[in-house]
Structure 1
């Protein structure tokens, strides 16, 4: 590892100033992704700015009924919070599915959003990777790619975004707030992650040196009836090979509102707008759920070894939405 400096920030403006003074500096939260990448030589910061002591560790209900989550809230605290579990259960389920308890105790909300979109070639500095070294090529396209992207990829990169939490946040229209030396700003999660295009090394639309301060979840009554389901190759904590975050409001057999997002299919959480449009106002049946999934997955362009993801995500969508049509205990009373 490259030798690096370490400074603990005591306020947001101080943290932003420290990073702004050194282009090779990085913010340090739980370090569960950054430190691993430093060990492999992929990340080589000259300075780590520790932001874990900043007053950004709260979760509060907003005046309009949404939630405001601080960037340094740990994943464990996010998943356990009663208002998260009550108002956005799919978010709590996604966080619990994302990592082991030890990692959840360290990882932060801001850090989870900023973890690198990556595959094995990204962390192997002996192999070409356009994300790590722009213009060097993408070894995955002709190499090992069974868990790579089927939607929104390009010739330059086919890696998938690893976050489970971000898939649920995408379904619920989360907004990311940040601070820069020029003042505060915000980005809808839909605009936060950049399309991979021909610049896969540019992953987010955050301005240089920006510090994420909190995430806001707008009020969404449908989110109280939501679920997150993750499929992986083994039962231990591993990246998904496909996942679905869904929320559903059905009345008299008709879909009144639906939220749907896919994970492990693209370089960013994939909001399934075509599927949502196909379902809204139609029957809440397994056949309709399958047709909606097909409408979304029609744009899929799988590689030679990851075509299985198309039927996997289709069947997963049908299963999760079908479960959400089942009567709840409250409705049965």
Structure 2
């Protein structure tokens, strides 16, 4: 771990100003906000993250979960994963989010990890986390060691010749299916970013993972009001039963009317370079009967553009089966 300076902010504007002033004073110095630190501190110890300035935001007033007058749910960026998973409104109206959070990490980590930090969780690709190995995400232009290396756990959707790293978060997959909106404060004011636009595909610039700019701070997540009659579910498949990242996962939100599918949202985890929303699979199901055959057909659509690597072709079938089962579970068929 390299030396860094530390400051603590008590107001959102102070945190943004501290990050902006540090970047200006130190000619574009890397600045990081720290909340639970469950990812950041690990990566700093590995010399993967090397911030020159760390701004502690744990004292900001961003730790509440609130139902707004229009029915949307407002989740503060500092709400801990365990608190969010067990919140009665989340369990009742957004079960997929509660299930995804409880499927991730360990109880101890969930007690520390924050909503904003989970959104920004970095990949678990071994080459990214090894500062001695070439990695375009960590060091642009150095190459992607994973493409011809150990890639069993890596992505098959949204990949490029420059990066095949997987987004590791369970929470992000559920938020994609729920069509969350990320609220960001920066030096230019507040903006709201739909989650599908928040994450970037690697393309030729895998070092850019989100639309955040230097000094930007996630303050809240907004969830749409729950769809009347909708049910939701998160299914995670992994090598062991706990404290393990997904090989494939599926988050689904589902409602029927008169025996036909009237609302469906689908997102996949463990297989994409970002939380993978499959609008094509949704279109394949909309207005059709909730049958196992239709679910399997939609799952095939969701994976039709998969580009497996040397060690992870099994993920195509695994992800299809995962999605088919998740849909069958929420549809009770």
The alignment's TM-score, normalised by the length of structure 1, stands at 0.96
The reply on whether 1:297 has 2:286 as its aligned counterpart is no
Measured in 2, the distance between the counterparts of 1:80 and 1:263 equals 22
Pick from 268, 272, 275: which aligns with 1:269? 275
The reply on whether 1:82 has 2:64 as its aligned counterpart is no
The reply on whether 1:190 has 2:196 as its aligned counterpart is yes
**Where does residue 242 of structure 1 map in the other structure?**
248
| Distance apart, 1:21 and its partner CA | 1.4
The reply on whether 1:16 has 2:13 as its aligned counterpart is no
| Distance apart, 1:295 and its partner CA | 1.1
Tell me if the contact between 2:230 and 2:255 (Cα under 8 Å) persists in the aligned partners: no
Measured in 2, the distance between the counterparts of 1:25 and 1:296 equals 38
**Where does residue 131 of structure 2 map in the other structure?**
125
The reply on whether 1:221 has 2:227 as its aligned counterpart is yes
The reply on whether 1:314 has 2:312 as its aligned counterpart is no
**Where does residue 105 of structure 1 map in the other structure?**
111
The reply on whether 1:115 has 2:105 as its aligned counterpart is no
Tell me if the contact between 1:89 and 1:223 (Cα under 8 Å) persists in the aligned partners: no
Tell me if the contact between 1:86 and 1:224 (Cα under 8 Å) persists in the aligned partners: no
> For 1:48, what is the secondary structure of its paired residue?
strand
> For 2:148, what is the secondary structure of its paired residue?
coil
> For 1:141, what is the secondary structure of its paired residue?
helix
| Distance apart, 1:104 and its partner CA | 0.5
Greater shift, 111-120 or 121-130, is seen at 111-120
Measured in 2, the distance between the counterparts of 1:306 and 1:86 equals 36
| Distance apart, 1:117 and its partner CA | 2.7
Measured in 1, the distance between the counterparts of 2:215 and 2:186 equals 7
> For 1:221, what is the secondary structure of its paired residue?
coil
Measured in 1, the distance between the counterparts of 2:221 and 2:260 equals 32
Tell me if the contact between 1:279 and 1:292 (Cα under 8 Å) persists in the aligned partners: yes
Show CA shifts across 1:49-98 (max 9, x none): 00011000000011121200000000011001000111100000000111
Measured in 2, the distance between the counterparts of 1:223 and 1:106 equals 33
> For 1:21, what is the secondary structure of its paired residue?
helix
Measured in 2, the distance between the counterparts of 1:171 and 1:244 equals 9
| Distance apart, 1:185 and its partner CA | 1.1
Pick from 205, 211, 214: which aligns with 2:211? 205
Show CA shifts across 1:120-157 (max 9, x none): 00011111100111000000000000111111100100
The reply on whether 1:166 has 2:172 as its aligned counterpart is yes
**Where does residue 46 of structure 1 map in the other structure?**
52
Q: Which runs of 5+ in 1 are unaligned?
A: 328-333
- Distance 1:108-1:223 versus aligned 2 partners, 3 A rule: farther
| Distance apart, 1:24 and its partner CA | 2.1
| Distance apart, 1:9 and its partner CA | 0.3
The reply on whether 1:26 has 2:35 as its aligned counterpart is no
Runs ≥4 in structure 1, deviation > 6 angstroms?
A: none
| Distance apart, 1:316 and its partner CA | 1.0
Aligned length: 327
> For 1:318, what is the secondary structure of its paired residue?
helix
Q: Which runs of 5+ in 2 are unaligned?
A: 23-28
> For 2:250, what is the secondary structure of its paired residue?
strand
The alignment's TM-score, normalised by the length of structure 2, stands at 0.96
Tell me if the contact between 1:87 and 1:223 (Cα under 8 Å) persists in the aligned partners: no
Give the superposed CA RMSD: 1.2
| Distance apart, 1:222 and its partner CA | 5.5
Tell me if the contact between 1:222 and 1:247 (Cα under 8 Å) persists in the aligned partners: no
Tell me if the contact between 2:201 and 2:273 (Cα under 8 Å) persists in the aligned partners: yes
